[in-house]
Chain A
Amino acid sequence: MQKSKLQLSTLFRKQIFIPLAALLLLALFNLIADPSFFKITLGQNAAGDPVLSGYLITILDYGSELAILAVGMTLVTAASGGQDISVGAGIAITGSVILRMLCGSNSRPETLQMPIICAFLIAVVAGMLAGAFNGVLVSWFKIQPMVATLILFTAGRSIAAWINNNELPIISEPSFGYFGNFIPGIPIPTPFFIAVAVMIVTALLLKFTNLGLYVQAVGINAQSSRLNGLNPTFIKFLTFVLLGICVAVAGLIKVSRLSTINYSVVAKDIEMDAILAVALGGNSLGGGKFNMWASIIGAYVIQFLTTTLYKFKVDSSALPAYKAVVVILLVVFSAPTVREFISAKYKLLTSKNEKEVA
């Protein structure tokens, strides 16, 4: 009895509690409103391969880009105490690079100009360059992250259009579509596997290197971490480059979904969702300590919310308003005064119960 109560209260205090509670709340809402939300069916796609479908699969599928971006965004937020608002434009750039590499100057290629993996690696370099550009501005020139990344936010989509001479190439090669859809024979959407791979790499990176510790140290107090022998400039720079890699991976998925790209609208406003995922994970947007897994769950919660709203045919132009409500709730609940108030109430409640039991 005593033990379970203890676990409950520690869980409540844990950071990961916020996104998990949000996830549970959404799931509960759907369960009551329409249990068919959780139905998953095995069918076939147009190519005759087995695929799973259902709302849950849709969430895993479309939430994956966001989860990948949330990984990078968490690191940037923790180290620099600011956010990168150029990730949507970065996706346009890296996506454009992939298409340019695969198509050459011909916008309707019969055959690919190079293996997809090579094009992807070049896009990763492009993403790292964009990240490095932001990183240099933030870490060396000490420009506020949101202002520094405003440059690519504004210019990125034009750069993306310029890379492909403003043409919209379309790739007809079916294997290019595997990354954003399904690999033949595997009924689970590929973006989810890619997201899991990114998570595993991140987990290994955090476990076997001091990256997590260093990032938090720099985020909490750059001056004292410098006095302790860290190089805050380099660590901030590094987080932006890592985010660049995440952007390139998300760009590959986005381009692969439709085998083409529209520079002006691809991944529009995704930066706001990525930042929201970090916030939803209970991470301080002012930098410092972070919980990667909470951010990732936060990303899927956002997609859960979006899919739920689509299901109930809520006007999609009203989606941002609902997200705004979530942000307001988050801000209120993560405010120290409210948290103290709630935990005080909770203690009062439990102590009363104990008395009654006694």
Chain B
Amino acid sequence: MILSLFLSFAAVPQEAGGQWSPRVEIAWNRYYDYDSVLEIERKLAEAWPEFVQLQDIGESHEGRPMRLLTLTNRATGTHDAKPAMWVDGNVHGNEVQGSEAALYLAWWLLEHYATNERAHKLLDERTFYILPSQNPDGRDHWFHAANTASSSRTGTRPTDNDRDGLYDEDDANDLDGDGEITQMRKRVPLGEGSHRLDLVDPRVMIPVSGKEQGDWIMLGQEGIDDDDDGRINEDGKGGYDMNRNWPSDWQPNHIQFGAGDYPFSYSETAAVGRFLLSRPNVAAVQSFHNSGGMILRGPGADYVTYPRSDIRVYDEIGAEGERMLPFYNYMIIHADLYTVHGGFVNWTYEGLGIFSFTNELWAGPQYQGGSSSESEGGRGSRSGSQLEWNDSVMLGDIYTGWKPYLHPEYGEVEIGGFKRQHGRVAPSFMIEEMLHRNAMFCARHAEEIAEVSFMRVSSEDLGGGLWRVTAVLKNDKAMPSRSAMAAQNGNGTPDRLTISGNGLSVIAGGEQRDRFRPELIDSPVRRPERLLLDNGVPGRGRLTISWLVSGAAGTALKLRFEAEKADAVEWTGTLNAE
């Protein structure tokens, strides 16, 4: 039973007129290192102790806590008694903004609980399991060591990527000591180069083609041959991909780089796996990554077909997401992006039967708009137009100009390029918008978790003490109470519908597939008084169940629907002709 503690809402929405003063002030125009993420979780728990519980579900390789924030109004029921949504971010250490998006979701719902009817309902009737970072070590390393926008994707368990018996011994090196890993380029005699400098903007490298002659070469990321094996930066810190370490369609390292020794071989993925396997009430999953502006669903690889009824759910939520998130596209991972074996949302849906999305946060074009750089490279070149935005909108803040450096292996080179805060994360002034839209996408996803009710229950006297009891269950939400994938794979326990009454004997029962033909029920059935509903109650649909029972008129009847991923509901009445 759901009790509404706050029966009336404040008359004026808090945000009206900009007069809103949040209970917890958090600057949403910046990114937070992992210690600060923990601090925000603590503040939320302190400000709303009746809604927020913190729990360490495991430890990272370096011993940082994997601190899960469980969000629900405990006065209306325990977290595990309500259908739930899992939200995480940052499984790739450099893809940082997912953590802020996950925290923002908790913060916004809490701040609006008293004034926003839908936030109120979500916190009363649903649970959110929020893990801001699946990769605390990678996150910490990205913030506190020299990196690119793309490095520190991995965790930090030492890994021998070049198979020489040494671990992480040849990482990129911050040669110029500016705290960033940028690019190296070298001037060579004309005709021996692969690039030339842009005539208008010599920061831009133009690849030469045809008869054009180059006088520069690109030498990759800043670094030296630390282990004397003739290669540069080939065995950096960590060196694996925790989003390839999940059980469904997992493939070993030689099929897919970074997969780990076996599924859940990393303490971080194992912690998340253990938790999700113990929480059958999770009905929705959202995982935040960067970048590119995508709302992704599986399959990650061409090895499985999703059932049509589930695709309808995905399509509906995905299409709404595209409208909520300008510049984002709803896409299928293996068909529209690339193949992923053993990805997280592949496991949560293909393995566990939970509707799951991965959002790739931040779409560059929404910031660069209609760039029109004057340089040659600017016309259609990524770096040219981005440089223009560096120069104008960011006043040069996101780029380090090329400077000479004497390299131990390459001699005279130049070092320079974009800093890590450009390219994959939103610039400071656009962070909050990114967080809000993505957090509300989660809220909408959670609002579409199945909500089952008894629409109608009737009994018909067939004479001689025999009755036909018919119940119509309805679900107005997009999601079925059990996904077709879960039904197909036998995940968890099917939904249950029980009928009971004093002295009542249940002879037969099952789904009635034709509303005009009550005798057409699925038969035979095992234990008709406790029907197992393999496919649950369909999304935006109804399910009609009929029983043949024998009993006396006026017998008190109780019908009870139970599901792992929907609230239980009961109907009580009597055996009586209408």
Verify that A and B bind, or say they do not.
Answer: no
Residues of B within 8 A of A (CB): none
Residues of A within 8 A of B (CB): none
